[in-house]
């Protein structure tokens, strides 16, 4: 009777191995299926509470909650806001604040290497913000990126947020707008934004949600 006992033991051992392999496979599968984070979740996880507070104070919150749009969000640290000139005046005027926030956002998801390859030859150039203002970009010969006239540095790079990328920066980008502190002038009869058909951009993208503003 020793032979069948051995067979049963081997079979039990094999079964245990398969069960272990199966649960191992299931475990690693669930680890691989990560839920994408929205930009606002990423900002929260980075402790960027002042920027989030600014976003919440305007009507722009929904733009930071989608995972399908693709933007680059240059998200200033809390310290960067402390260093910002006239910060209380800016927060007191929602139009000014909205102009400021949209200026930290660039349509299209850019990693640092995308920015470097776009500007390394010339060393300097501009990106267009979500409110269609130019952001000065410098790429030093060693690959260091500096943004805006105050030369903000990227302190935490390439945080993926849905289809967007968050680049944490150490200075707030100040919009190049005359009388910026007075806020944008809303022109009631502004020409309508390009439609999805014109641009090929999905109707849920940031461009369709942007306010029709111009600057004094
Ligand atoms: C911003 O609003 C969201 C909800 O829309 C909330 O979860 C979050 O705590 C708010 N953050 C700040 C800093 O006010
Ligand atoms: C990102 O958006 C642009 C339009 O702004 C679109 O052409 C491109 O296909 C999008 N890329 C991804 C990965 O969604
Ligand atoms: C903005 O800040 C500058 C420098 O701190 C100050 O001279 C100016 O009065 C401030 N302007 C407003 C409108 O608060
Ligand atoms: C950002 O991501 C790009 C592309 O994945 C990579 O080449 C680059 O080294 C990253 N930058 C940093 C600072 O991690
Ligand atoms: C890159 O070069 C700049 C000067 O162009 C310098 O200030 C900076 O410290 C350098 N950064 C690194 C990481 O070498």
For residues 109 and 70, is the Cβ–Cβ distance under 8 A?
yes
Q: At residue 195, does pLDDT exceed 70?
A: no
Q: At residue 27, does pLDDT exceed 70?
A: no
Closest CA to ligand 2's atom 12: 70
Overall size of the chain counted in residues: 216
pTM of the model: 0.76
Choice from 38, 39, 40 to test ligand 1 binding pocket (greatest atom count within 8 A of CB): 40
140 Cα–ligand 1 center, Å: 36
User: pLDDT tens-digit profile of 85-105?
Assistant: 999 999 999 999 999 999 999
- pLDDT tier at 179 (50, 70, 90 boundaries)? confident
Burial class (CB in 10 A: 0-12, 13-18, 19+), 163: middle
Q: What is the mean pLDDT of the chain?
A: 80
111 Cα–ligand 4 center, Å: 6
Q: At residue 122, does pLDDT exceed 80?
A: yes
Mean pLDDT of all residues in 133-142: 97
- pLDDT tier at 180 (50, 70, 90 boundaries)? confident
Indicate which atom in ligand 5 lies nearest the CA of residue 140: 5
Contacts by residues 59-63 (CB-CB < 8 Å, ≥ 24 positions apart): 59/98, 60/98, 60/101, 60/102, 62/209, 63/105, 63/206, 63/209
User: pLDDT tens-digit profile of 32-51?
Assistant: 566 779 999 999 999 999 99
Alpha carbon 184 to its chain's center: 24
User: pLDDT tens-digit profile of 53-88?
Assistant: 999 999 899 999 988 899 999 999 999 999 999 999
* Residue 24 vs residue 51, higher pLDDT: 51
69 Cα–ligand 2 center, Å: 8
Closest CA to ligand 5's atom 9: 144
Indicate which atom in ligand 1 lies nearest the CA of residue 52: 13
Residues with CB under 6 A from ligand 3: 85-86, 89, 181
**Alpha helical stretches, state H, the chain:** 2-32, 39-45, 49-57, 78-82, 87-92, 94-103, 112-119, 196-199, 206-209
Choice from 123, 141, 144, 157 to test ligand 5 binding pocket (greatest atom count within 8 A of CB): 144
């Amino acid at each position: 009777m020793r032979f069948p006992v051995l067979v049963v033991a081997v079979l039990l051992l094999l079964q245990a191995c398969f069960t272990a392999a199966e649960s191992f496979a299931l475990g690693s599968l669930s680890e691989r299926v990560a839920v994408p984070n929205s930009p606002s979740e990423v900002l929260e996880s980075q402790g960027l509470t002042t920027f989030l507070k600014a976003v919440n104070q305007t009507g722009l919150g929904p733009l930071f909650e989608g995972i399908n749009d693709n933007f680059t969000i240059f998200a200033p640290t809390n310290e960067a806001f402390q260093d910002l000139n006239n910060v209380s005046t800016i927060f007191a005027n929602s139009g000014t604040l909205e102009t400021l926030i949209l200026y930290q956002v660039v349509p299209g998801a850019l990693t640092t290497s995308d920015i470097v390859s776009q500007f390394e030859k010339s060393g300097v150039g501009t990106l267009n913000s979500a409110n269609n203002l130019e952001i000065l970009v410098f790429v030093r010969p060693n690959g260091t990126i500096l943004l805006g006239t105050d030369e903000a540095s990227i302190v935490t790079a390439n945080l993926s947020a849905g289809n967007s990328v968050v680049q944490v920066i150490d200075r707030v980008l100040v919009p190049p707008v005359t009388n910026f502190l007075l806020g944008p002038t809303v022109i009631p009869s502004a020409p309508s934004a390009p439609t999805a058909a014109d641009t090929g951009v999905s109707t849920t993208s940031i461009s369709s949600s942007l306010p029709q503003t111009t600057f004094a």
